[in-house]
Amino acid sequence: MNVKDKIVVITGGAKGIGKKTAEIFKDNGAEVIIVDYDKDAGLETASELNIEFIEVDVSDQNSVNNLFSEIDDKYKSVDVLINNAGTTADGFLVKMDENAWDKVIDVNLKGVFNCGKEAAKRMMDKGEGVIINTASVVGLYGNVGQTNYAASKFGVIGLTKTWSKELAPKGVRVNAVAPGFVETDMLDSVPDKILDNIRAKTPLKRLGKTEDIANAYLYLASEEASFVNGNILSVDGGLVLG
């Protein structure tokens, strides 16, 4: 996949899917900048992969503005933004408090808006660019105990569809990946019984791997996907929640 010499910004890049995405893009010749709230993990990944790390809170517009100002100064451009940062705070509707709602919406939805807005300005100015947002199988079908997460990911799908119409005339493609359940730290708190049930419901009979999602990002960012716009690419093994 052709991403050679592209300036690629990956939010939530310190661990899990983001880290694997950084590795795969670097291996394919991209100039990678990972962004994360977790400074220690970010520095560790940056050192391991020999890439740049910038500490950012994507839910804070000032923090995001500072990120893109730093990118302007050092790289003069951004070619690809992967809005991969995300969090969960699960609970049944009647037990979910406002803090749990705000935390997930702020990172998963507002964070995508904050980063997408700043990247779009720069991409429109130069007449080209790619924004890839991270939705979820939960954003397509909903899921018990994830009111806030489902709402945030439904919102990401709406942003993606809207931006793909607004930005395409300026040369900017916008798509999203909707992962299924992927083997990352985010699943550590999920009981084995539930994970076994998810495997059983998945036609491919396994959970996703970080490289499954990273390779989908790579395709959508590449020249090979130059006519793909406004798409929500499900990478979930065929899982349909219900």
List the Cα angle 137/57/52 in 5-degree steps: 95
Per the structure, the complete domain to which residue 101 belongs is given by 7-235
* Residue 242 covered by a domain: no
DSSP-H helix ranges across the chain: 16-27, 39-49, 61-75, 98-105, 111-126, 137-141, 147-167, 192-201, 210-221
* Residue 118 covered by a domain: yes
Q: How far apart are CA 22 and CA 36, in angstroms?
A: 12
Q: How far apart are CA 55 and CA 72, in angstroms?
A: 16
Two structure tokens written together for 112: 């995508």
Q: Is the pTM of this model over 0.85?
A: yes
Q: Which residues pair with 124 in a beta bridge?
A: none
Domain count, the chain: 1
* Residue 112 covered by a domain: yes
Tens place of pLDDT for every residue, the chain, 242 residues? 889 999 999 999 999 999 999 999 999 999 999 999 999 999 999 999 999 999 999 999 999 999 999 999 999 999 999 999 999 999 999 999 999 999 999 999 999 999 999 999 999 999 999 999 999 999 999 999 999 999 999 999 999 999 999 999 999 999 999 999 999 887 777 788 888 988 998 999 999 999 999 999 999 999 999 999 999 999 999 987 76
> Which CATH number belongs to the domain containing residue 142 in this structure?
3.40.50.720
* Residue 171 covered by a domain: yes
Q: How far apart are CA 117 and CA 126, in angstroms?
A: 15
* Residues marked as catalytic: 149
Two structure tokens written together for 180: 């299924």
